[in-house]
């Protein structure tokens, strides 16, 4: 098991973000709400862009905010004695040496059900435009461990989101983002607490929502009630 090192009881978490940082905010809010039960503290937020909204959010929460190019990230993580790294909308490639060092200790959130609609260049509105163009009826959010290839590391948890008639990339993206905000902080906290980890064989264990659910998270929220009620829905509508 590759559980994060636990210095002084809680994991030291770094969040890397290039954009507005709504996932960072969800993470900060979740950890704050967990209070003493939280397994991690965000000790630094790192961005490649000085104008990233994520940096403002960090400062507003009293968290150190740094702007560094990807090649300096390894040194910064070392210097800050970081146990766990969360990529929350970070758009740059992280050097392989850093990814390897943080194997099982670096997670990313992606706004689709990987491996569909992922890979280099698939970010932001592009993901949702591709989902709509493909005509699929279900998309979702994925949290996965980071590998040296974009969006290809071991999947930790996924959550479905329906694509609705008339959706634009903006409306669909907003629906997916709400799910990201629920899923990402919980998974980060679970990894920080050693409740979910990557084993030597490159498999995630134990699964965050129990073995029966594999990597697929079902919970009692409006976003997933459609899936939970699927059988009943079909019966009622006599669609098939
Ligand atoms: C999210 O959709 C995330 O899945 C993707 O980039 C977006 C970041 O949004 N990796 P925000 O900056 O957290 O608001």
pLDDT, tens digit, 9 for 90 and up, residues 176-212: 999 899 889 999 999 999 988 999 999 888 777 665 5
Phi, psi of 119 (to 5 degrees): 105, 180
| pLDDT < 70 positions in the chain | 1-8, 209-240
Residue of minimum CA distance from atom 2 in ligand 1: 111
* CB of residue 23 inside a 6 A radius of ligand 1: yes
Sign of CA dihedral 142, 143, 149, 154: negative
Which tokens in the block code for residue 214?
A: 């594999």
128 ligand 1 Cβ < 6 A:
no
Nearest CA to ligand 1 atom 5: 89
If DSSP codes are grouped into helix, strand and coil, which group holds residue 109?
strand
Closest Cα to atom 4, ligand 1: which residue? 110
Nearest atom in ligand 1 to the alpha carbon of residue 22 is 14
**Contact partners, residue 228, CB within 8 Å, separation at least 6:** 218, 220
Closest CA to 95 of 154, 148, 18, 17: 148
Helix H or strand E segment including 156? strand 155-162
Q: Map tokens 């060092």 to a residue.
A: 101
Strand partners, 108: 87, 144
Q: What spacing in Å lies between the alpha carbon of 102 and ligand 1's midpoint?
A: 21
Rounded to whole angstroms, the Cα distance separating 73 from 70 reads 5
- Beta carbon of 180 within 6 Å of any ligand 1 atom: yes
- pTM equals 0.88
Is the shortest distance between the CB of 109 and ligand 1 below 6 Å? Answer: yes
């Amino acid at each position: 098991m590759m559980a994060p090192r636990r210095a002084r009881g809680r994991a030291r978490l770094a969040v890397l973000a290039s954009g507005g940082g709504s996932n960072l905010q969800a993470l900060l809010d979740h950890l704050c709400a967990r209070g003493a039960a939280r397994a991690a503290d965000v000790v630094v937020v790192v961005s490649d862009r000085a104008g990233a909204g994520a940096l403002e959010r960090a400062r507003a929460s009293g968290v150190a905010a740094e702007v560094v190019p990807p090649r300096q990230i390894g040194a910064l993580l070392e210097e800050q004695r970081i146990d766990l790294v969360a990529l929350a909308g970070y758009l740059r490639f992280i050097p392989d040496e850093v990814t390897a060092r943080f194997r099982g200790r670096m997670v990313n959130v992606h706004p689709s059900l990987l491996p569909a609609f992922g890979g280099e260049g698939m970010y932001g509105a592009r993901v949702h435009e591709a989902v709509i163009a493909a005509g699929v009826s279900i998309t979702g959010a994925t949290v996965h461990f980071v590998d040296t290839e974009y969006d290809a590391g071991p999947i930790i948890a996924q959550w479905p989101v329906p694509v609705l008639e008339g959706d634009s990339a903006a409306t669909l993206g907003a629906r997916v983002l709400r799910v990201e905000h629920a899923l990402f902080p919980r998974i980060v906290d679970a990894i920080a607490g050693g409740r979910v980890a990557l084993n030597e064989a490159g498999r995630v264990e134990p699964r965050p929502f129990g073995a029966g659910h594999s990597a697929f998270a079902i919970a009692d929220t409006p976003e997933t009630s459609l899936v939970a009620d699927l059988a009943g829905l079909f019966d009622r509508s006599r669609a098939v």
